[in-house]
A and B are shown apart, each in its own frame.
Chain A
């Protein structure tokens, strides 16, 4: 059997998730290359390819002009993976959907350059059909490996739809709330094995929400147990989930 052809593509993003792919270390990365053929990867090579078995798309869909490029990737790929938070959930990019003055704040005097024109930041699923998502900012390279491995064996990859709390409990991390802190692990999609709370840092839900987050209860707990003001509690989860919240624009 010939090796599956895999391509990497980027849209609005920092391209950090593609860089994360090189962080496996030589042994794991080179071993992976024994099983897949990376035929298109702007970060590392100049060649382009035709038909693909798997397209990994990083970045959000933020410009109507990008739709055609996304559609062409979809057309020549058997499987499309939304690769990382920006592609899977629109990630931090979607914060701008709630701001009017972001261009002036970010680009100053260059704010009106035409190439900076963009519309709302959306997950790529707003433009094309997505088969699988690798969540996280950055994506978890071991989860990506697990998904690719399952696809190589023709198996359906299991992507958790339970909150980060499960993973904290399984590894007996002392709950941030027990430490007088706040956390959003109750609504955040697991799959990362909860490294942040284990290091004493609250979960910011970088992997987005579970399918049915209890946003009302989150606001209540942030107020009652973490002492947040109403406004802060209401806005807290927006950082990585602006396009997933019930008030998304």
Chain B
């Protein structure tokens, strides 16, 4: 595919034309933080964001998603995918989307996710500012970003736009793009590479070394109880995680008591009731009853259990969990480096 260049002063008209004809989602400011939201004007777009509160997967897998509408005994699916462009996704989130794409399409295909995903064009962007807890340069290095349709990189005087798929190429018509020169391409490459050296946090071991040692510590109960001592079981680390994909399904009736909807909500394995199962007769059993059990489960899921399926850990180093945890115990770098350094 082609690599283009767009001059700085042509950028806003490119965005305006795209917003006029398509639904465009991009990073926008929310107080001191950033969120992915629908763009109404090019000025809202903040490609200089560090990280968003929630990952962009919410565009295919909303925090609350209506699945089925019912009327008495009649029911029908209410998934209504809309064509959209997800603009300005950092490479770590591209990696995470590729993981959830895989997890939602293996075995039973989850059409509620895949329909929205297929309707989306993803334009990745270079990281201009690194968040305070990021470690994307040292985690899962064996897994590269893929599945995006284009990649836009800010360089001096404009943007280098690499079209990767036909969907990505289709965006070029909105702006005054010209072919990128070799020097512009290499400037873009070094802009992306240089950000890897700016992560404030670092995992010191390879994915396979980590997977082995973390798994060996499964029965080290003291370690997990200590690590989880200050855990609120609040689930914040799960909810902000770009690779978490668990959900709970609930039914709601409308006031007429006849019609209603079945919806799914993001769930979190750190919360107490997540692993509570019915034994019938009003009795229940919780198979991860202690904070330590639940804390261990999250680290196992991120560092070992999914590695074979995904080709690397189910963590992309965005640092969202680290900053969302008010007790500051969720940081995978701290937990994993501590396990690795223990005897």
CB <8 Å contact, A162 and B268: yes
| B interface, size bucket | 35 or more
Give the distance in Å from the alpha carbon of A246 to the alpha carbon of B54 in the complex. 34
- Quick one: CB contact mask for A207-232 with B, threshold 8 Å, 1 for yes? 00011111011101100010000000
Residue of B nearest to A214 (CB): B232
Among A35, A145, A163, A179, the residue within 8 A (CB) of B232 is A163
- Quick one: CB contact mask for B202-239 with A, threshold 8 Å, 1 for yes? 00000000000000000000000000011111111001
Task: Known A166-B236, A174-B53; judge A210-B30 contact (CB<8 A).
Answer: no
Query: B residues within 8 A CB of A177?
Result: 326
CB <8 Å contact, A169 and B236: yes
CB <8 Å contact, B239 and A166: yes
| A interface, size bucket | 35 or more
A149 at interface (Cβ–Cβ under 8 A)?
Answer: yes
A178-215 CB contacts (< 8 Å) to partner B: 178-179, 183, 185-187, 210-214
CB proximity of A69 to chain B, nearest CB, Å: 28
CB proximity of A191 to chain B, nearest CB, Å: 12
Among A149, A162, A172, A210, the residue within 8 A (CB) of B53 is A172
Query: A residues within 8 A CB of B256?
Result: 31
CB proximity of A198 to chain B, nearest CB, Å: 11
Query: Which segment, of A38-46, A112-120, A152-160, faces chain B?
Result: A152-160
Among A174, A183, A212, A216, the residue within 8 A (CB) of B233 is A212
Give the distance in Å from the alpha carbon of A150 to the alpha carbon of B250 in the complex. 11
CB proximity of A73 to chain B, nearest CB, Å: 22
Query: A residues within 8 A CB of B194?
Result: none
Query: B residues within 8 A CB of A214?
Result: 230-233, 291
CB proximity of A238 to chain B, nearest CB, Å: 18
CB <8 Å contact, A221 and B233: no
Among A32, A170, A175, A178, the residue within 8 A (CB) of B64 is A170
B273 at interface (Cβ–Cβ under 8 A)?
Answer: yes
The 10 closest A-B pairs by CB, nearest first: A165-B234, A186-B232, A169-B239, A217-B230, A162-B271, A170-B63, A163-B234, A31-B255, A172-B53, A174-B31
Q: Can you sample 9 A-B contacts with CB below 8 Å? A: A149-B257, A163-B233, A166-B234, A166-B239, A172-B54, A174-B53, A213-B232, A214-B232, A217-B327
